Amino acid sequence: MKTCLKLITILSVFPLLTGCWDQKLILNSEVINGISFDLKDNKIKSTIVVLQIIPKGSGYFDFNNQLSSATGDSLDDTFSELRMYHRGPLSASKSRIILFGESFAKKNLNSYLDLFYRNPDPYLGSKVAIVKGLEASKIFSFKEIGTDPIAFGLYEIIDAAEENSTIPEGNLNTLFSLFNEAGKDFILPVLEQKGDGILVSGAGLISQNAYSGKMIQLNNCSLLLLLMDNYEKKVDLLTYLSEEKKLNNQVSYRITKAKRKINIQKDAFHKPVVNLKLDLEVGLKQYPKTSNITPKQLKKLQTTISNDLTKRSNHIMKTTQKANSDVLGIGQRIKETDPGTWQSLDWKETYPSIKINTHVNVKIVKTGIIK
Amino acid sequence: MLTNKNLFFLIIQAQIGIGILGLPYILYNDVHQDSWISFLIAGILAQGVIIVLVALSKVSPKNTLYELNLKLLGNFFGKTLNFMYILYFIAVSMLLILLVTDVINTWILHQTPRWAIILLLLLASSYIAKEHLLTISKTFLFFSILFIVLIFLLILVYSKADLTVGRLLPIGASGFLPILKASPDAFVSLIGFEFILFIMPFLKEPNKSLKVISLANIFTVSLYLFLIITCIIYFSSAQFSLVQQPLLYLFRGLSFEFVERIDIIFLSFWLVPISTTLVIQLFNASLGVQNLFSIQRKTSVYLIAFLLFGIGLFPVSPSLKESLSSLMTYLNIIFVFFIPILLLIISKIRVKKI
What is the DSSP track for A132-150? Answer: -SS-HHHHTTS-EETTEEH
Give the pLDDT confidence of B170-192 residue by residue, as tens digits. 788 878 888 888 888 888 888 88
3-class DSSP string for B130-196? CCCHHHHHHHHHHHCHHHHHHHHHHHHHHHHCCCCHHHHCCCCCCCHHHHHHHHHHHHHHHCCHHHH
Return the DSSP state at B203: B
Cα angle B342-B51-B68, degrees, rounded to a multiple of 5: 45
pLDDT at B176 (0 to 100):
86
pLDDT for the residue A48: 92
Nearest CA-CA partner of A149 in A233, A223, A83, A53: A53
| Mean confidence (pLDDT) of chain B | 88
Q: Annotate B137-165 with b (16+ C-beta within 10 A) or e (fewer).
A: bbbbeebbebbeebeebbeebeeebeebe
B129 lies in some domain: yes
The shortest C-alpha distance from B16 to chain A (Å) reads: 24
Show residues of chain B in contact with A9, CB under 8 Å: 123
Chain B neighbors of A174, CB-CB under 8 A: 161-162, 253
Nearest residue of B to residue A178, measured between CA atoms: B236
- Chain centroid to Cα A335, Å, comes to 25
Task: Please give the backbone phi and psi of residue B112, each rounded to the nearest 5 degrees, phi first.
Answer: -60, 130
Task: Please state the domain count of chain B.
Answer: 1
> Is residue B63 in some structural domain?
yes
Instruction: Return the residue of A nearest to B174 by Cα.
Output: A339
- Residues A209 and B238: beta-carbon distance below 8 Å: no
User: Which CATH number fits the domain that encloses residue B203?
Assistant: 1.20.1740.10
Assigned domain for B80 exists:
no
Q: Which chain B residues have a beta carbon less than 8 Å from that of A177?
A: 162, 234-236, 239
**CA-CA distance, A205 to A184, in Å (whole number)?**
12
Give the three-state DSSP class for A209: coil
Query: Which candidate in A177, A178, A334 is best for mutational testing of the B interface (most B CBs within 10 A)?
Result: A177
- A336 contacts B167? CB cut-off 8 A: yes
Question: Does A44 touch chain B if contact means CB atoms closer than 8 Å?
Answer: no
Mean pLDDT of the region B222-247: 90
Question: Which chain B residues touch A17 with a CB distance below 8 Å?
Answer: 120
- Tally of CB atoms within 10 A around B173: 15
Is there a domain that residue B52 lies in? yes
Average pLDDT over residues B39-48: 92
Is residue B294 situated within a structural domain? yes
- Is pLDDT larger for residue B29 or for residue A269? B29
pLDDT of residue B140 exceeding 50, the answer is yes
Binary contact (A181, B238; C-beta < 8 A): yes
State whether B162 and A230 contact (CB < 8 Å). yes
Count how many pairs of residues, chain A against chain B, have C-beta atoms within 8 Å: 74
Q: What pLDDT, on a 0 to 100 scale, did the predictor assign at position B283?
A: 92
Regions of chain A where pLDDT drops below 70: none
* Mean pLDDT, residues B218-240: 91
The answer to whether residue B81 is domain-embedded is: no
* β-bridge pairing A43-55 and A272-286: unpaired
Query: A-chain residues within 8 Å CB-CB of B167?
Result: 336
For the entire predicted model, the pTM comes to 0.88
Euclidean distance between CA atoms B332 and B140, whole angstroms: 23
User: A179–B112: do the CB atoms touch at under 8 Å?
Assistant: no
Complex prediction ipTM: 0.83
Q: Is A10's Cβ below 8 Å from some Cβ in B?
A: no
Range of the domain at B273: 4-75+86-353
pLDDT, tens digit, 9 for 90 and up, residues B265-290: 899 899 999 999 999 999 999 999 99
For A310, A339, B204, the CA distances from B182, given in Å and listed in that order, are 48, 22, 38
Three-state DSSP class for residue B72: helix
Residue B70: CA atoms inside 13 Å, Cβ hemisphere, count? 10
Q: What is the pLDDT of residue B353?
A: 54
Nearest CA in chain B to A10: B123
Q: Helix, strand or coil for residue B278?
A: helix
Write out the E strands in chain A: 30-40, 43-55, 61-72, 90-91, 97-101, 127-131, 144-145, 148-149, 187-194, 197-207, 210-217, 236-240, 250-266, 272-286, 355-366
**Is A16 in Cβ contact with B162 (below 8 Å)?**
no
Q: Contact, A87 vs A79, CB < 8 A?
A: no
What is the reported pLDDT for B354? 47
Which one of B107, B123, B239 has the shortest CB-CB distance to A120? B107
Q: Are A274 and A357 in contact (CB under 8 A)?
A: yes
**Chain B interface, Cβ < 8 Å to A:** 106-113, 116, 119-120, 123, 161-162, 164, 166-167, 169-170, 173, 234-239, 242, 252-253, 255, 260-261, 263-264
Residues from chain A that touch B164, judged by Cβ atoms under 8 A, are 329, 332
pLDDT band at B352, cuts 50/70/90? low
